[in-house]
C-alpha cells in the first residue's frame, strides 16, 4: 500500500504545481519578455522538426492507404482520408508527442540544471518570484505554441500526402485540395487543434515540475529530462482519449 | 545610535536539520552594519546553510534570523522581497543565468526592482562591471567567462542593487591566489566605501585574516568560536585554533 500512497502523493504534488501555474498565470507582474523567449524556444525551434515529420508522415500514410482504397475503388477518397486523419487525430497527437520529446526534455533539463547550479536560488535572492519567472512562461509558451505547430504539422502532412499521390496518379493540386476538404467540417478542425493547448499545458507543467523540484544535483538533470518525456507522453495519450470523448459529446457530428 | 540599531544580521538560537542530520545547533551571533564576519569550518558544517537562512532561501527548524531588525522566519513573500533588496548574495559558483549575457544578468534586478530608465540602467551596469574589471565583457555569456571572471561577475550582480549586507559563499574557492586577493580587495572596498556588512563563508584563512573583523567557526553544527581573529586563534576549541593557525 505504500506505493499507492506514494502515487497519490506524487499526483497531488503535480496537481498542486499545475494549479499554481494557472493561478500565477493570471497574477501580475506578467513576464512578457520571458514568454517571448520561450515562444521562440518552443515554437520557432520546433518548427523544422514538426514540418519535416508531418511531411514524411503524410507521404508514408498515403503510400500505406493507397493500395487498400484503390482495391475498393475508392482512390478518390485518398485526399479526404488523409485530411480527416491528420486534422482530427494524427496531427494533434504526433505534434504533442514530438513536442514532449523535444521541449519537455529541454524544460526538465534546463530547470533542473538551474536548480543544481543555484540559479533558481539566485533569482529568489534578487526578489524575483522564480516560479512566475521560469515556470509560468514556459507552460504558457507550450499552451500557445502547440496549436500553431499542430496546424503546421497538419498542412505539412497534407503536402506530403499530395506529393506522394501526385507521383502515383498525377492528381492536380486543386482537385486534391477540393477532395481533401470535402469531408472536413470546421468542428473536425477547430476542436482537435485546440485540444493540443491541453497537451501543451501537460508538457509544460509536467516538465517544469520535474525540473523545478529536483533535489539531486547533476544526477537530477538527466532524471528530470527522462521523466519529463515519459510522463508527458503518457499523459498526452491518456488525455487524448478523454478529450476525444469530450469533443464527441460537445460536437456529436464529429463522431464519424 | 544605540547598539541594536546597528545590527545588520542576527541569529537567535537557530536550529536546522536535514533528516536526522543537524547542521545548525542552537547557533546565535550577530553582525553589525559595516562589519565583516568570516564563517570558517570544515565542509558540511552548515556554513552555506547559514547564508541561505539569512536570505530566507531555507527556513530554520526553530529560532530567529533577523535582517536589519526584521525576523525573516515565516515572513510572507511580499515583505521578504523588501528584505531581500537589502541583501546581495555571491553564490559559490556565481550562479549567473546561463541564457542571459553578463549585461542582462546585471540589468535584470535593476529593471525589475527599481524605476531606473534604460539609460540609467546602462550607466549603473557599466559602472559596476568596470568596478569589478569586466567593463568590456558585458556582451559575453557566462559560458564564455573564466572561473575568476564568473566570480567577479557574480559579485557585480550581488552589488548592482547596492545592498546594505553582502553574503559571499566561498568567494575565493577554485581561484588562484592573485585572483582570490582581487576578490578580497573588491569586498573590502565595498565595505569601506559603502559601509556594507559582509558575511563571508570561506576556507581561505589568509583571506579571512585580511577581510574579517570577526570570525566564527562552525563545527558539527555548533558555533564553537566567535570573535576577532586573534582571539579565536587562542580559542580553547581545538578545531577553531587549528583552522585559524594552520
B19-63: per-residue pLDDT in tens? 888 899 999 999 999 999 999 988 888 899 999 999 999 999 999
Looking at the domain assignment, is residue B193 inside a domain? yes
Q: What percent of chain B has pLDDT over 70?
A: 98
Looking at the domain assignment, is residue B120 inside a domain? no
Q: Are residues B92 and A117, on separate chains, in Cβ contact within 8 Å?
A: no
Looking at the domain assignment, is residue B227 inside a domain? yes
> In what helix (H) or strand (E) does residue A16 lie, and over which residues does it extend?
helix A2-25
Total domains present in chain B: 1
Q: How far apart are CA B157 and CA B140, in angstroms?
A: 14
Residues in chain A with CB shorter than 8 Å from the CB of B114 are none
Mean pLDDT to the nearest integer, B140-155: 91
Mutation target to probe the A interface, by most A beta carbons within 10 A, among B18, B57, B107 is B57
Q: How far apart are CA B140 and CA B152, in angstroms?
A: 14
Residues in chain A with CB shorter than 8 Å from the CB of B98 are 113-114, 119
Which residues of B sit within 8 Å Cβ distance of A? 52, 55, 57, 77, 80-82, 84-85, 87, 89, 91-93, 95-99, 108-109, 112-113, 157, 161
**Cell numbers of B197, please?**
556588512
- Give helix B147-159 / helix B102-113 axis angle, nearest 10°: 10
Higher-pLDDT residue of A156, A185:
A156
Q: Are residues A119 and B85, on separate chains, in Cβ contact within 8 Å?
A: no
Q: What percent of chain B has pLDDT over 90?
A: 52
Nearest residue to B47 (alpha-carbon basis) of B27, B72, B76: B27
| Beta pairing, strands B70-71 & B62-67 | antiparallel
pLDDT of residue B3: 46
Mean pLDDT of chain A: 91
Q: What percent of chain A has pLDDT over 90?
A: 69
CA dihedral (B198, B201, B205, B206) positive or negative: negative
pLDDT of residue A254: 67
- Asked whether residue B65 carries a pLDDT value surpassing 90, the answer given is yes
Q: How far apart are CA B84 and CA A100, in angstroms?
A: 36
CA dihedral (B67, B70, B74, B77) positive or negative: negative
- Asked whether residue A67 carries a pLDDT value surpassing 90, the answer given is no
Of B87, B95, B112, the CB nearest to A119: B95
- Asked whether residue A69 carries a pLDDT value surpassing 50, the answer given is yes
Nearest-5° angle of CA A77, CA A83, CA A85?
95
- Asked whether residue A159 carries a pLDDT value surpassing 80, the answer given is yes
Chain B: closest CA distance from residue A181 (Å): 44
Mean pLDDT to the nearest integer, B174-193: 85
Q: Are B215 and B18 in contact (CB under 8 A)?
A: no
Chain B: closest CA distance from residue A151 (Å): 29
Task: Give B78's pLDDT tier (boundaries 50, 70, 90).
Answer: confident
Using CA atoms, how far residue B77 sits from A34, A148, B53, in Å, is 21, 37, 15
Per-residue DSSP letters for A130-190?
Answer: HIIIIIHHHHHHHHHHHHHHHHHHHHHHHHHHHHHHHHHH---HHHHHHHHHHS--HHHHH
Mutation target to probe the B interface, by most B beta carbons within 10 A, among A127, A134, A215 is A127
Domain containing residue B180: CATH number: 3.40.50.300
| Beta pairing, strands B197-201 & B36-41 | parallel
Q: Are A93 and B76 in contact (CB under 8 A)?
A: no
Range of the structural domain that residue B201 is part of: 3-96+164-245
Mean pLDDT to the nearest integer, A151-164: 94
Helix, strand, or coil here: B85?
coil
Residues in chain B with CB shorter than 8 Å from the CB of A36 are none
Q: pLDDT digit string (tens) for A89-128?
A: 999 999 999 999 999 999 999 999 999 999 999 999 998 8
Mean pLDDT to the nearest integer, A25-53: 92
Which residues of A sit within 8 Å Cβ distance of B? 37, 113-114, 117-119, 121-129
- Give helix A32-39 / helix A136-169 axis angle, nearest 10°: 30
Mean pLDDT to the nearest integer, B210-226: 90
- Asked whether residue B179 carries a pLDDT value surpassing 70, the answer given is yes
Nearest-5° angle of CA B85, CA B75, CA B195?
30
- Asked whether residue A155 carries a pLDDT value surpassing 90, the answer given is yes
Task: Give B220's pLDDT tier (boundaries 50, 70, 90).
Answer: confident
Chain B: closest CA distance from residue A122 (Å): 6
Give the least confident one: A44-48, A149-153, B162-166, B178-182.
B178-182
Amino acid at each position: 500500500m505504500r506505493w499507492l500512497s506514494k502515487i497519490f502523493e506524487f499526483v497531488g504534488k503535480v496537481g498542486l504545481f499545475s494549479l499554481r501555474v494557472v493561478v500565477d498565470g493570471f497574477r501580475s507582474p506578467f513576464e512578457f519578455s520571458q514568454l517571448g523567449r520561450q515562444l521562440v524556444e518552443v515554437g520557432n525551434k520546433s518548427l523544422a522538426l514538426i514540418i519535416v515529420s508531418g511531411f514524411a508522415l503524410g507521404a508514408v500514410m498515403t503510400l500505406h492507404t493507397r493500395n487498400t482504397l484503390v482495391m475498393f475503388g475508392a482512390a478518390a477518397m485518398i485526399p479526404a482520408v488523409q485530411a480527416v486523419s491528420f486534422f482530427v487525430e494524427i496531427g494533434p497527437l504526433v505534434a504533442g508527442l514530438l513536442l514532449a520529446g523535444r521541449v519537455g526534455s529541454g524544460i526538465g533539463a534546463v530547470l533542473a540544471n538551474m536548480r543544481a547550479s543555484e540559479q533558481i536560488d539566485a533569482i529568489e535572492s534578487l526578489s524575483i518570484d522564480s516560479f512566475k519567472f521560469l515556470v509560468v512562461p514556459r507552460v504558457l509558451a507550450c499552451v500557445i505554441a502547440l496549436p500553431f505547430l499542430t496546424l503546421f504539422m497538419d498542412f505539412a502532412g497534407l503536402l506530403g500526402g499530395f506529393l506522394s499521390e501526385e507521383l502515383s496518379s498525377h492528381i492536380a493540386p486543386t482537385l486534391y485540395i477540393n477532395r481533401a476538404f470535402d469531408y472536413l467540417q470546421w468542428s473536425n478542425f477547430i476542436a482537435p487543434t485546440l485540444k493540443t493547448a491541453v497537451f501543451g499545458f501537460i508538457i509544460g507543467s509536467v516538465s517544469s515540475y520535474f525540473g523545478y523540484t529536483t533535489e539531486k544535483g547533476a544526477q537530477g538533470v538527466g532524471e528530470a529530462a527522462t521523466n519529463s518525456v515519459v510522463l508527458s507522453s503518457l499523459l498526452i495519450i491518456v488525455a487524448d482519449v478523454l478529450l476525444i470523448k469530450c469533443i464527441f459529446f460537445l460536437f456529436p457530428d464529429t463522431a464519424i | 545610535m544605540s547598539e541594536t540599531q546597528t545590527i545588520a544580521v542576527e541569529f537567535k538560537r537557530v536550529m536546522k536539520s536535514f533528516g536526522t542530520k543537524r547542521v545548525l545547533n542552537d547557533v546565535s551571533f550577530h553582525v553589525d552594519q559595516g562589519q565583516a564576519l568570516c564563517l570558517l569550518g570544515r565542509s558540511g558544517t552548515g556554513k552555506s546553510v547559514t547564508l541561505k537562512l539569512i536570505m530566507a532561501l531555507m527556513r530554520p527548524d526553530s529560532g530567529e534570523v533577523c535582517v536589519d531588525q526584521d525576523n525573516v522566519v515565516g515572513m510572507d513573500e511580499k515583505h521578504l522581497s523588501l528584505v531581500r533588496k537589502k541583501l546581495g548574495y555571491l553564490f559559490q559558483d556565481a550562479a549567473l543565468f546561463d541564457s542571459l549575457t553578463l549585461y542582462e544578468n546585471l540589468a535584470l534586478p535593476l529593471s525589475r526592482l527599481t524605476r531606473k530608465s534604460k539609460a540609467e540602467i546602462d550607466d549603473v551596469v557599466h559602472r559596476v562591471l568596470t568596478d569589478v574589471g569586466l567593463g568590456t565583457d558585458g556582451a559575453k555569456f557566462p559560458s564564455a567567462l573564466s572561473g575568476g571572471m564568473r566570480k567577479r561577475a557574480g559579485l557585480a550582480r550581488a552589488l548592482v542593487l547596492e545592498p546594505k549586507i553582502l553574503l559571499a559563499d566561498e568567494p575565493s574557492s577554485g581561484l588562484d591566489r592573485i585572483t582570490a586577493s582581487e576578490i578580497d580587495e573588491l569586498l573590502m572596498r565595498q565595505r569601506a566605501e559603502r559601509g556594507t556588512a559582509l558575511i563571508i563563508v570561506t576556507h581561505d584563512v589568509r583571506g579571512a585574516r585580511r577581510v574579517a573583523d570577526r570570525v566564527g567557526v562552525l563545527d558539527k553544527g555548533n558555533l564553537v568560536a566567535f570573535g576577532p581573529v586573534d582571539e579565536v586563534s587562542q580559542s580553547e576549541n581545538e578545531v577553531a585554533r587549528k583552522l585559524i593557525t594552520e
